[in-house]
Amino acid sequence: MMTHAYAPGAGHRRLDERSAATDQLARSFTGLPQDVTHRQVLTMFKRAAPYLGIPPRLVHAIDTLMSWSRAVDWIDGQRPIVFPSNETLAGKLGIGVRQLQKMLTSATRYGLITHRDSANGNRIGARGKDGRLIYAYGIDLSPLGARYEEFVRTASEGSAADGRIDVLRKRLTAARRRIRSLAQLVEDECIGGIDAETVVEIALMATRQMRMVRDEGLLGACVEQIEGRAETLGRAVAAALEDRNASQYERKESPSDDSEDTLITTTNQSSTAKADYSSGFPKRSSGAGYDVRDEEPQTEVEADLARYGVDPDFVASVTPEFILSERPTWGTLIATAERIVDQTSIHRTVWQEACRLMGQKGAAASVLATAHKHLRGDVDRPGAYLRGMNRHAAAGLLNLGRTFHGLKESGRIEGMRSLATGAEPRAVGQIAAAALRLARGTGSGRLL
């Protein structure tokens, strides 16, 4: 319903139900409580504005209007009326007069201000010696005072809602990250039968759509759904990995009679050093299978290592940070590689696959090379890097012998550069290995 109130000298001021309600609210104002100032009214209004949907431009306009008001205007029997001209107010706000008129109309409909018009429509007023208004015609700020309690309540409830919404958003982010981690695990471990990409897309879409949502019910329902999907995906991945690991054995004795060899590949079959490798998992073999005690190369990768003269001593010289044994054997290297697998992000199934494709000697050399590159900062994800080596080995493209010679040459060059700059040329593992040899009386009598 739209009506018009005649303002002499200024044409007709448009009134609607909201404007009329604001005018009625202003009439009900009888002054602020004694312990409340108009500055507190402004502060609580600013805090409540975002939760009331009041645009920032109106907040700025009210803040500017309040600068013309005094504390005495807000006591009982007075009216907080300010009377700057449109030109003055528009200059303060940095907008045009027409824009200002629209803004004031909008502020009236939001229940923030009303108008007290003079006979000629001009804004005018005068104050006495005590600062009180003798007369005033202009913009009435009384609705702000009348809504003070509402502002306090809205600001408090809005702040509490912000806390709850923040928790929901963090839960949503945590669920999305968990889904991405599980999806990465599915990809890294090549787990079939799980559509992780769809779950990731749903989580990302939900995160984007909920970014600006403040409806706690809607946001909470979305969070519960994404958390449920993360839980379902987690159970599926755990079940797949459990099924894959079900055929693995617990413990296996050292594959060599050497007194320095220690326990290596885990299996629950005891007293055996022979194994067939099928689909990456060890199984008992009563026939002629892989035997780590055989000095002859048994896989293409081991043949490549032998062709380039990469034996346990050569591997230990390239990766001294992992091997401190004076007389390293393949059993020592394999045990060290298994320890590295258990201590890093390399999954056991990747290690088993490497053993199947490269033999235990080739797999141990690959793990040590991968760990060495990881410590140097050349490899970020050891598990993914070893998986790539497995793919190259399966395709007959892995040249592990040349890799070790390249690592040795790289270490030599870095050592020369360090000597030139005066920095320490060797890793802590190299120094420790040299110290161990010196302590045993087999070294050259010096660490450098």
178 and 127 assigned to the same domain: no
Edge to edge, what strands does the sheet with 281-283 contain?
281-283, 274-278, 290-291
417 and 391 assigned to the same domain: yes
Give the mean pLDDT of 40-49: 94
Which of 81, 113, 146 terminates a domain? The answer is 146
15 and 90 assigned to the same domain: yes
83 and 165 assigned to the same domain: no
294 and 416 assigned to the same domain: yes
Mean pLDDT, the chain, rounded, equals: 80
338 and 404 assigned to the same domain: yes
pLDDT digits (tens, 9 = 90+) for 392-421: 899 888 989 888 888 888 776 665 454 444
**Residue 265's pLDDT band (cuts 50, 70, 90):** very low
Q: What pLDDT was estimated at residue 13?
A: 65
Give the mean pLDDT of 283-303: 69
pTM of the predicted model over 0.85:
no
Q: What pLDDT was estimated at residue 88?
A: 93
Which of 146, 169, 202 terminates a domain? The answer is 146
Confirm whether 264 is domain-assigned. no
416 and 280 assigned to the same domain: yes
Strands 81-82 and 114-116 turn out to be unpaired
Q: What pLDDT was estimated at residue 374?
A: 86
CB 41 within 8 A of CB 151: yes
Confirm whether 256 is domain-assigned. no
Residue type, 389: M
Q: Report whether pLDDT(282) > 50.
A: no
Residue 34's domain comprises: 2-146
286 and 424 assigned to the same domain: yes
98 and 19 assigned to the same domain: yes
Q: What pLDDT was estimated at residue 77?
A: 84
What CATH code is carried by the domain that includes residue 49?
1.10.10
Which of 245, 262, 295 terminates a domain? The answer is 245
How many helices and strands (H and E) does the chain possess? 16, 9
Burial class (CB in 10 A: 0-12, 13-18, 19+), 447: middle
Confirm whether 361 is domain-assigned. yes
Q: What pLDDT was estimated at residue 287?
A: 36
Confirm whether 325 is domain-assigned. yes
Q: What pLDDT was estimated at residue 326?
A: 74
Q: Report whether pLDDT(363) > 90.
A: yes
CB 206 within 8 A of CB 172: yes
Give the mean pLDDT of 420-439: 47
338 and 367 assigned to the same domain: yes
More confident residue, 76 or 422: 76
Q: What pLDDT was estimated at residue 4?
A: 47
Strand ranges (DSSP E) for 98-192? Answer: 114-116, 124-127, 133-140
Burial class (CB in 10 A: 0-12, 13-18, 19+), 334: buried
